[in-house]
A and B are shown apart, each in its own frame.
Chain A
């Protein structure tokens, strides 16, 4: 920035005519764009109700630089926080979850301090100098890895969405949540960095009978899941960094598993141990929890892939639109089974749909940002988004899912279309199950 300022000053001094031309071109551009936006009335007079004053920040010196610091958001962004689950309230905060304020997130990356949390026994503080990851069981040679060992391997960095299988579990048949943070905030977008799990498993040497890997955390729940070897050898990452810095304690410091596109519960945080075996372990978190009720009284198990889903983040529940006219409708789409191919948006409760623009980059198993212009006529409207993935799968409605699953209680793996109703006064409300 500094060099650009210097060079423009320089050219203004040496060649004033060029500088004048630039100013004229800019004025011309401004006049044209104002005419387009405001129908010409404002541009024609240029009248302003009150003359603008030079702000105080122009008249004083700002804060000095600290010798060392970890930068924090502006004090005016205090309201942008992760919230502990406040629709379904747990009676303790050790096995609990907090939700990402998606309504405040532009783009596809969630800042580390806002990445959602789910722990089963609080957040451990693990010393990376003594932490070890163990690989054993049906392997040629059991191995341990220190953090230093793991960081010697070639690294990969991948953008992936991260979603809890319980995202949306409070809102199936009727609206209970107000904001998109409450309905969809068990979702974050992260650039993970670490070692491909396949490299570490290959080094230990998987026995030909080894088909599953028990992955276990170093937390007070020793939280564990069974991971099929096909996925383990495919795109999983033993991650030590997120979004350009070490993992946060609440997200698995110093090291965690990342299982792209699958339910967040299997991306074991504080990774401690991996054991190769012939069959799955059928632990509590893959039988009594994280399974889906079926209409015949049964339970669907190992429903790992987080299916294609989207949600409009603006306008979304709890917001209030100002004037009628142009509004950018924007949101997020993601798929555990590939890339987002298209997102359609409806402004009339699902009767008619228009294809939105996908903002690059569009990546495998990553959050994808979609946008579409909307000329709000000031009347009631119901906004919805519908994602289509690279396999051709179309995001369903709650009604579609109710036909094939039992929606009884707090049901997991909710990827249905989210409707937001805009009233004539501009208020935006959650109307899931009503529209």
Chain B
């Protein structure tokens, strides 16, 4: 059976049985259809939890409103930029932020510093060995940069940059990678539109991909 066909069968099985039935598949499964998510991601074998019965709702979670969670709600869905906050930043402003808060680790012009390697270059290296991985060569979507800087950088003071500063430093790094012009302004409406060279380079998990056999004697 082709892997495409096998995946369709697996999805059909999941759809027909539902998630709960899928969860009871036992350990005696023979090689063949692999349980996958609706998006085609290999689930691995599943096993049911055995738990005590719970009281009816309400249970123990405390109700809260989305408005109360604004400060925590920092994620960006990177392919379309959903969740990007208001703000704007220029390449020039980004250089100022970068020089003050990033270059000590990442080096001037993002060419690599005492702690971390280069964040520029590598475009076109994906069929070479080694592949040179930078935000420019590797990120499929430009908002990955904004999301990551906002949640994790600078390392010694994460979540300390303003939205404008985060847009600006994203603009600077994209410019250093030759992906936007020097006069570009990054904001919620422009960042997700930047075309990243690695955009179409990702494929969903299609394992198991190896086909080892259990030979016992005189193998190889």
Q: What is A's interface to B at a CB cutoff of 8 Å?
A: 91-92, 94-95, 120-121, 134-136, 141-146, 149-150, 152-156, 196, 198-200, 203-204, 211, 214, 216, 220-224, 228-231, 233-235, 260-262, 272-273, 275, 277, 279-284, 287-288, 291, 293-294, 296-305, 307, 335-339, 344, 350-354, 364-365, 386, 388, 390-397, 400-401, 403-406, 408-409
Contacts and interface: CB of A to CB of B under 8 A. Distances in A.
B202 A287 contact: yes
A392 to B, nearest CB: 4
Contact of A396 (B14, B31, B47, B212): B212
Contact of B158 (A150, A222, A364, A409): A222
Contact of B211 (A283, A339, A400): A400
A203 B138 contact: no
16 contacts: A120-B152, A121-B152, A154-B52, A229-B37, A230-B14, A230-B38, A277-B77, A299-B198, A303-B207, A305-B44, A335-B45, A344-B216, A351-B218, A351-B219, A391-B29, A391-B30
A308 to B, nearest CB: 9
B86 interface: no
Given A220-B152, A408-B130, A283 B144 contact: yes
Counting contact residues on chain B (CB < 8 A from A), the size range is 35 or more
Contacts of A352: 216-219
A386 B205 CA distance: 23
Contacts of A95: 155
Nearest to A120: B152
Interface stretch (B53-61, B88-96, B161-169, B170-178): B53-61
A222 B214 contact: no
A273 B204 CA distance: 25
B1 interface: no
A394 B39 CA distance: 26
B182 to A, nearest CB: 25
Given A235-B23, A301-B205, A393-B31, A364 B45 contact: yes
Contacts of B159: 222
Main secondary structure of the interface of B (DSSP, over half): loop
Contact of A135 (B19, B53, B61, B77): B61
Residue from the set A288, A301, A304, A339 with the largest chain B CB neighbour count within 10 Å: A288
A283 B207 contact: no
Given A235-B46, A275-B73, A352-B218, A203 B212 contact: no
B2 interface: no
Contacts of B69: 134, 136, 142, 273
Contacts of A301: 202-205
Contacts of B76: 281
Q: Chain A contact residues: over half helix, strand or loop, or mixed?
A: loop
A228 B39 CA distance: 8
Given A91-B114, A154-B52, A405 B45 contact: no
Given A260-B44, A299-B203, A307-B207, 14 more contacts: A94-B155, A136-B64, A143-B63, A222-B151, A228-B37, A231-B37, A282-B144, A293-B131, A336-B44, A365-B45, A386-B214, A394-B213, A395-B212, A400-B210
Contacts of A303: 42, 205, 207
Contacts of B43: 228, 230-231, 234, 305
Nearest to A392: B31
Nearest to A279: B77
Contacts of B39: 211, 228, 280, 302
Nearest to B130: A409
B160 to A, nearest CB: 11
Contacts of B214: 344, 386, 388, 394
B147 to A, nearest CB: 6
B22 interface: yes
A394 B210 CA distance: 9
